[in-house]
Each structure stands twice: as C-alpha cells, then as structure tokens.
Structure 1
Amino acid sequence: MDIEYHLIRSDRRSIGIEVDREGKVTVRAPYSCEKKRIDRFLLEKENWIRQKVKLQKENAMKRQEKREMPEAEKKYYRNLAREVLGARTGYYARKMGVTYGRISIREQKTRWGSCSSVGNLNYNWKLVLMPPGVLDYVVVHELAHRREMNHSAAFWKVVATWMPDYKKYRKWLRDNGNQF
C-alpha cells in the first residue's frame, strides 16, 4: 500500500487509524502487533483511508478559501454567544436537574464544547452561527456530562432523554461543522 502514515505504538489492544484535518494519516497499534498485521489491516481499510484523506484535504482547502471575519464582527458574535449559550445552559440545566460552574466562550479549532470534571463549561462562539437545534444539542451534550463524565451508553441515554432527536443535530455538526 502506498499511503504514507505515522505509526505510534502503545499499550492499546487494537489497531486504530486517524486522519487529521490536513489529511495526514496516523496509525496506532499495540507494541506486540507485527508490521505484517498492520499492513494487512491498512490494506483492508485502504478505500476508507483514501476517502477520508480526500475529504479532509478538500475541507482544508475550503477552510483556506473561507473569508476571514473582521474582529469587530467576531466580537459581536462572541458577546451574542455568551448571552445565548448562558441562557440555553441555564434553561436546560434546570430541566435536567444539574448544576454547572463557569461558562467560557472560546474559539477552539476542533471542539464545539467541553465540560471539566468540576463542571465548568466551554463553548465555541461559532455555535451561534448554526441552526438553534445544533446549539441546543451541544448544550445538552455538555450538561449530560454532569451526570455521566464519559460517552457511554448511559451518557447517550441522558442526552436522548432531553433531546430525543439529537442524532440529526450530531450528524449535521459532523457534516457541516467544518464550514465554520
């Protein structure tokens, strides 16, 4: 196979493939895994890898072509995000019966939200540029971490309790989030 990749060995049990935002391929494998087994695995996944690399490179080009937002406009949206996300977080926290700490508005490259172990929430200000259901999904997702600090089946059950159609918003974010 002629796909260039970076190999990282660790204590993991299985082989994993990761294609980053620029289309670079990283393979993670157990220390005990023979190179022949890794090569066979990559051959089996070759079509998926090539599709993913192509998609990520296309998305990287789109990101480069995207117009840069003026700082005054970013400031406006950050303030709007602080207001809207604060209100939506309060609303859902009351419904879900959970508490949270500080809310921070940021501009992460790869995350829309996060929840720390002490309950501080971080949101990406670009959420206010997306459909309202997507913003609500991220809020519910982060608040669900106040009940389940992982992505187990129990976690997704909490999300589904408060947003039964969360999968369509999650898919929208996966399919369209890179445009923001």
Structure 2
Amino acid sequence: MSETIEIDELVFSVKRSTRRRTVGVTVERDKSLVAHLPQGVALDVATRLIASKLLWVHQKLAEHGETARDDVFRIPEFVDGEGFHLLGKHYRLKLVDVPKNVTGVPSVRFEGDRILLRREQAASGGKRIEEYYTRAAHPYLNETVQRWKRIVGVEPGRFVQVMDLGYRWGSCSEDGTLNFHWRTMQLPPRIIEYVVVHELVHIKVPNHSEKFWKMIGSVMPDYESRKAWLKQKGGEL
C-alpha cells in the first residue's frame, strides 16, 4: 500500500530512497505533491518537517498556474460597473481619467459606493487591486490577531504576513508566523475573524483533528456558520 502524508488538506505521495539523506518536497507541474523521504524516516517525523515548508508549497502551487485558484476565486473584469468588496461591503468599479499634469492621484481609491481605478492602469488592474488590499490588510489583520490571540491563548509571530497564498485564505508557519491571502480583506469582519482564529488555533494544533475543531468552538461557538459562509460565498467576492 502506498504511503501518503496529509497536512491541512494537502496530500503528499511518499517516495522513499535508500540514497536520500534528507526530507524534501516537490510540486509537480500538474500540482501533485511528492514527499521524498530517506528509507528509514518515520512518517510522523517527516510530517513535522514538511509542515515547516507549507508556505513554500502554497507559493509554488500559486506559481504553477491559475487552475486551482479559478475553482475558488472569481476573476473580475476591470470595466465600469464591475463589483468589488472591501470588508464585506460592495462597491462598483469606475475607471477615471487623470490629466497628465495632475500628480498624487492614487491608482486605487474608494469614494462612496465606488472604487475608482485610473483608466490608464486598467490593464494592470489586478496588480493594482492586490497592492491596495495588501496595504490595507496589514494594520487590520494585525489588530484582529492581537485581539483574538488573548482569547485563544497563544502567542503568534510579532507581525502577520500578507501575500498571494494561491487558493488558501491563510496558513500558519511552524514558527508561529500567520500568513493571510490579500483577498481576505474582501470578507465581512466576522468571517475575517474566523480565518484569523482558525490560524491562531493551528499554533496549538497543527492539523484539522477533532481537538482542533473543539478548540475553535470553545472560543468561537458559532464558527460552523462562519466556516460555511466562507466556503459557500468567499470565492464569489
């Protein structure tokens, strides 16, 4: 029977070699995951080592194309009237013309129920939106983490990291650093709280065992409804 390692819903097929001395991971072109193990290494030991490489794995999965991401996230068009969300509120995109002699106008800004994007940057709209949400996410998520870490009873890394995590909302590194997808800022605040608590609890319980879900339930009794909302509607934002 072939061996596998499962971590955070990622499944690694195991390949052992008598010539190998260290544990390694590869992400294949078809996004399949392979754990390369020395012949005598126990699976639980290998699992802990691979868990420390998960951030790298998620980044590699994102680099291997958009297929997995397209199954989760809506891909917007950068045309007038396209919808975007910020902290759960809905905004309509409006492309605006900025005279060449006018300086200091940001690429992206919110006014009323509109998100304004400079027309000459529409072709790179995805990048501009990502930059805006990333800047906004750092203070917001740091504050949310600081508030909830006392309730969960853990001490994460000093600052959160915001990046493109492919098709994942968040991850927890072995050193307690919390990583969040920049798209998290599109979610309603109560759903962002669920994503944050989910990763904070991973500091204590690295897997999705019964103990993990019980611990989330002890600090967030309605987590199941938040989890269901994220699964059903998160990708539509």
Normalized against structure 2, the TM-score is what? 0.49
Q: 1:153 to 1:94 in 2, by over 3 A?
A: same
- 1:47 aligns with none
User: How many Å apart are 1:71 and its aligned residue?
Assistant: 3.3
RMSD of the alignment, in Å?
2.7
Secondary structure of 2:180's counterpart equals strand
1:120-135 counterparts in 2 under 5 A?
Answer: 120-135=177-192
The structure where strand makes up a greater share of residues is 2
1:22-41 counterparts in 2 under 5 A?
Answer: none
Q: For residues 75 and 100 of structure 1, what CA distance do their matches in structure 2 show?
A: 25
- 1:82 aligns with 138
Secondary structure of 2:203's counterpart equals coil
Q: For residues 81 and 90 of structure 1, what CA distance do their matches in structure 2 show?
A: 14
1:67-114: CA deviations, max 9, x gaps?
254533332211111111100001101222210114110122210000
The structure where helix makes up a greater share of residues is 1
Q: For residues 178 and 129 of structure 1, what CA distance do their matches in structure 2 show?
A: 10
1:36-71: CA deviations, max 9, x gaps?
xxxxxxxxxxxxxxxxxxxx9xx65x845x225453
User: How many Å apart are 1:138 and its aligned residue?
Assistant: 0.5
Q: For residues 121 and 98 of structure 1, what CA distance do their matches in structure 2 show?
A: 12
Secondary structure of 1:123's counterpart equals strand
User: How many Å apart are 1:122 and its aligned residue?
Assistant: 0.4
User: How many Å apart are 1:141 and its aligned residue?
Assistant: 0.3
Q: Which runs of 5+ in 2 are unaligned?
A: 5-10, 12-29, 33-66, 79-124
Which residue, 63, 72, 91 being the options, matches 2:128?
A: 72
Normalized against structure 1, the TM-score is what? 0.63
User: How many Å apart are 1:118 and its aligned residue?
Assistant: 1.3
Q: Which amino acid aligns with 1:94?
A: R
Q: For residues 138 and 177 of structure 2, what CA distance do their matches in structure 1 show?
A: 14
- 1:35 aligns with none
Q: 1:81 to 1:109 in 2, by over 3 A?
A: same
Report whether the alignment pairs 1:173 with 2:165.
no
Q: For residues 142 and 70 of structure 1, what CA distance do their matches in structure 2 show?
A: 26
- 2:2 aligns with 10
Percent identity between the two aligned chains: 34
Q: For residues 106 and 133 of structure 1, what CA distance do their matches in structure 2 show?
A: 21
Secondary structure of 2:179's counterpart equals strand
| Structure with larger Rg | 2
Q: For residues 124 and 70 of structure 1, what CA distance do their matches in structure 2 show?
A: 14
- 2:150 aligns with 94
Which residue, 212, 216, 219 being the options, matches 1:159?
A: 216
Secondary structure of 1:145's counterpart equals helix
Q: For residues 144 and 179 of structure 1, what CA distance do their matches in structure 2 show?
A: 26
1:3-26: CA deviations, max 9, x gaps?
xxxxxx8335xxxxx9xxxxx9x9
